[in-house]
Structure 1
Amino acid sequence: MSKQAIFDKFIDFMGRFSEFEIVTALRDGFIYTMPFTISGSLFLLIANLPIPGYAEFMASIFGENWSAPLQQVAGATFEILSIIIVLGMTYKFCANRGCDAISAAGLALCSFLIVIKSSVISDGGEIVSGVIPKGWVGSNGVITAILVSIVVSKVFCYCEKNKITIKMPSQVPSGVARAFAALIPAVIIFTGSAIIYALCDVLTNVTFPELVFTIIQTPLQSLSDTLGGAIIVASLQSILFWAGIHGPNIIGGVINPVLMANAIDNQQLVNAGMSLIGNPQAKIFTIQISDVFIQSGGTGMTLGLLIASYIKAKSSQLKSLTKLAIVPGLFNINEPVIFGLPIVFNPYLLVPFVVVPVITVTITYCSILFGFMAPCSAVMVPWTTPPILSGLLLNGWQGAVVQIINLIVAIVIYMPFIILQDKANLKEEQQYK
């Protein structure tokens, strides 16, 4: 089989993979977390601005506990991430199937709470019962939340589609009818959840989320936190986008929950008073690295392409496109370049479109590994935040420097390929004169 045939089969598989209902629900459900995580990040950012002497200055004005309300907001967003995921993913899965999404989401939340602990151990060693432990509804429970969402969604939709429900007379208000229709699925789902809780308790002496965290989530986070894992994520996003498939949506839908968990784990180290620089417990590859440091201007770091085009382009097509796309590119919106140049199926730009993110993620990873820049905590910025400013907000001047270096690298790599593209455009334009 030829290399082209293998590539075509790979692209065909990824296209079909992106349409799987579970992948779609995971991607769309994770999008629901964005208002919570980004708004929570703003409060967390205010509490942890990377400015020397900032904390001391604020404490001198507002007292030593000045950041407590800000941390409270962060704790009510990042530390319930799994709850948001289980609600959002179940809702989207069932809505896409035309089922009663809000009832299913409520059942999924209850199922999730059934399989986790209902107690915590206090600092004094006492067991406090009747609580929802934030330690397992935050980043540690992400994979469990995804698994619960999938199972509950499938069971609920199967019952609804096959009329395994209590049907009320037509005179009954629709809200009441929906409540009764959810009774049988609820009993099935809750019974299954209770059995899982009991089996885990008897056989392993741990809860289901603890078991999943040990067997699945910890290895996934460790694998994602390698340079090899970072390179695979960066390259696949570009390859798929070049083939006309929205790579960040597909790859991000699968990997972003894990990368988000990496960032929240780092935040827990910060909250414990530990430094992230040089800390072997800190995760290097987090969601900010993927979204901010290797996507200046959008996937493929196309802001570097636009700057290279601005410097070298002579053809009317490239000049016009650069003027049109430069402003959106500054805010990391690169669809005008992806589909207007186009980059999609463009043989001149495949190599730099894939190579640039691979090199820049390596630079970013190494800058953290060797201690120049701190690993990212849970602080995030809106994805439309312009490059350099986003690096400054996330990681101080070191973050801005890494972004500048990445951008220069992108410009240098794109330059010869833009020259080739420009020559092809000029030749085409001369034929129509």
Structure 2
Amino acid sequence: MNRFMEILEDVLMPIADKLNNNRYLTALRNGFMVALPLIIFGSIFVVIANLPFLDRILSEEAYTAYQNALGPASAATLSIMGLFVIIGIGYKMVEQRGGEAIYGGVVALGSFLILTPQVVEGVAGVIPTAALGAEGMFVGIITAFIAAELYQWFVRKDFTIKMPEGVPSAVSRSFSSLIPVSFTLTAFLVLRVLFSFTGFETVQNFVYTIIQQPLTALGSGLPATLIAVLLIQVFWFFGLHGQIIVNSIFDPIWYALNDQNFSAFQAGEELPNIVTKQFIDTFLVGMGGTGMTLMVLIMIFFVAKSRQMRELAKLGGPSGIFNVNEPVIFGLPIVMNPLVLIPWILAPVIVAAVTYFAMSVGFAPRPAGVIVPWTTPVLLSGYLATGNNIMGAVMQLINMGIVGLVWFPFIKLLDRQYYGEEQTI
């Protein structure tokens, strides 16, 4: 194991050092850190608002009132997290060059909002919330990079208004940024107009078409499922909400297969399908969220020495039990972190294949088509999703063991890096 750790360190650390010194990746990572407190806050209230089976305990009116009362906590944070990340990236990009960082943040945000469609169900002047959250993250990240670079370019070319001495510094900085900000926003306005004359109509439609079209050729079955799982992980690694992107294509297929199993289960017949919506939600996502990070948090508690990792585990643990793992994804971080790319991608693919094989030979029961709330903790969800079969929980335990084996050396490697950095402070 020590030799394997040395090989990993020799191969991955030089790559990590180069990537860590890349100004764009640094700004991206730091931009997510700006949003992290808000993400954690929103994640906590998502769990509280969606406690499993609470809708069966409370009356319909009481449950609706309960969710309406807590809903703004996540709606104002997680649902529009893209805005905070965009501001953070723009801020950090300009800060790296020693410029007025706050204007980098606001020009990035303004540029993104200019590109964002402002029509919802025929009503003009309304920005769809989905475009401001994880769904619009990819466009937001690219926009923030370009907007910050354009702003800095105009500043370097001295397209600024010089105020006389004696003018308050806040006023002087505002006027000096007026032309660079205006030129940058104008460039994005022109881009929006140009796209309106294309078949895509918006930049967002262009991006989603390019990403989604390759997915439409995929069907059901193990090969397609493995590709779907792989794409979810890859998209998340680059800061995109992989489940929103991939599930938009596969959900109709998975739900149809789920319904077939439920009908067979009710009729007492053999379940026809292995891959269903609950196969994905229970045996992959339902073990700590995308990437099955609950086991990662558990291992951090036992093996990590780094204060940063242990604090993250304390913060992410409660929400991770209920399959909300944004604190881990953006706090470890997993996004754009080359040290965790291998286990992040490999573990879910292996688990999907092992679970499929176990169900195909009858070792584990197939999903019964019962829709289990996505916040249901691991083991209980496996038991319920397979028609109250204890082997569903056993299969989840096996899967968690697989995740632990894949992740262990990489957690040690990451912990060693963070612990070393903490000792030098």
TM value normalised by structure 1: 0.60
Distance 1:414 1:116 in 2: 38
Query: What do residues 294-334 of structure 1 show as CA deviations (whole Å, max 9, x unaligned)?
Result: 52445xx794xx5xxxxxxxxxxxxxxx9x799x869749x
Query: Of the candidates 218, 230, 240, which is equivalent to residue 257 of structure 1?
Result: 240
Alignment of 1:268-279 (within 5 A): 278-279=276-277
Aligned position for 2:47? 45
Alignment of 1:11-30 (within 5 A): 12-30=14-32
Q: Compared with structure 1, are the counterparts of its residues 280 and 390 closer, same or farther at alpha carbon in structure 2 (3 Å cutoff)?
A: closer
Query: What do residues 24-74 of structure 1 show as CA deviations (whole Å, max 9, x unaligned)?
Result: 1111112223222222222221222124xx213233683643312223332
**Contact conserved, 2:31 with 2:85, CA < 8 A, in 1?**
yes
**Contact conserved, 2:296 with 2:404, CA < 8 A, in 1?**
no
How far off is 1:12 after superposition?
Answer: 3.4
Q: Compared with structure 1, are the counterparts of its residues 363 and 293 closer, same or farther at alpha carbon in structure 2 (3 Å cutoff)?
A: farther
Q: Give the letter aligned to residue 100 of structure 2.
A: D
Aligned position for 2:148? 153
Distance 2:246 2:172 in 1: 43
Q: Compared with structure 1, are the counterparts of its residues 302 and 67 closer, same or farther at alpha carbon in structure 2 (3 Å cutoff)?
A: closer
Distance 1:295 1:6 in 2: 18
1:290 maps onto 2:291 in alignment:
yes
**Contact conserved, 1:118 with 1:133, CA < 8 A, in 2?**
yes
Query: Of the candidates 386, 405, 428, which is equivalent to residue 398 of structure 2?
Result: 405
Aligned position for 1:97? 97
Distance 2:191 2:48 in 1: 42
Distance 1:329 1:91 in 2: 28
Distance 1:93 1:58 in 2: 48
1:113 maps onto 2:96 in alignment:
no
Distance 2:44 2:109 in 1: 27
**Contact conserved, 1:86 with 1:108, CA < 8 A, in 2?**
yes
Q: Give the letter aligned to residue 351 of structure 2.
A: I
**Contact conserved, 1:278 with 1:371, CA < 8 A, in 2?**
yes
CA-based RMSD: 5.1
**Contact conserved, 1:104 with 1:156, CA < 8 A, in 2?**
yes
How far off is 1:213 after superposition?
Answer: 2.0
**Contact conserved, 1:142 with 1:261, CA < 8 A, in 2?**
no
Q: Compared with structure 1, are the counterparts of its residues 329 and 396 closer, same or farther at alpha carbon in structure 2 (3 Å cutoff)?
A: farther
Distance 1:222 1:93 in 2: 38
Aligned position for 1:173? 168
Q: Compared with structure 1, are the counterparts of its residues 203 and 50 closer, same or farther at alpha carbon in structure 2 (3 Å cutoff)?
A: same
Q: Compared with structure 1, are the counterparts of its residues 6 and 403 closer, same or farther at alpha carbon in structure 2 (3 Å cutoff)?
A: closer
Provide the aligned length of Structure 1 versus Structure 2: 333
Aligned position for 1:362? 350
Query: What do residues 392-427 of structure 1 show as CA deviations (whole Å, max 9, x unaligned)?
Result: 799898898666434545788999x9xxxxxxxxxx
Q: Compared with structure 1, are the counterparts of its residues 173 and 264 closer, same or farther at alpha carbon in structure 2 (3 Å cutoff)?
A: farther
Distance 1:392 1:263 in 2: 25
How far off is 1:145 after superposition?
Answer: 0.2
Distance 2:206 2:344 in 1: 39
Distance 2:139 2:162 in 1: 32
How far off is 1:292 after superposition?
Answer: 1.6
How far off is 1:79 after superposition?
Answer: 2.4
Query: What do residues 113-159 of structure 1 show as CA deviations (whole Å, max 9, x unaligned)?
Result: 111111111xxxxx211111213222321111011101011111222
Q: Compared with structure 1, are the counterparts of its residues 280 and 170 closer, same or farther at alpha carbon in structure 2 (3 Å cutoff)?
A: farther
**Contact conserved, 1:140 with 1:213, CA < 8 A, in 2?**
no
How far off is 1:217 after superposition?
Answer: 7.0
**Contact conserved, 1:26 with 1:254, CA < 8 A, in 2?**
no
Aligned position for 1:31? 33
Query: What do residues 259-284 of structure 1 show as CA deviations (whole Å, max 9, x unaligned)?
Result: 47569979x99xxxxx9993399786
**Contact conserved, 2:116 with 2:204, CA < 8 A, in 1?**
yes
**Contact conserved, 1:91 with 1:104, CA < 8 A, in 2?**
yes
Aligned position for 1:135? 130
Q: Percent identity?
A: 24
**Contact conserved, 1:33 with 1:84, CA < 8 A, in 2?**
yes
Q: Give the letter aligned to residue 50 of structure 1.
A: P
- Structure 1, unmatched stretches of 5+, are 122-126, 235-250, 270-274, 307-321, 334-352, 380-388, 418-433
Distance 1:16 1:221 in 2: 36
Distance 2:280 2:402 in 1: 27
Distance 2:236 2:406 in 1: 29
The alignment partner of 1:168 has SS state of: coil
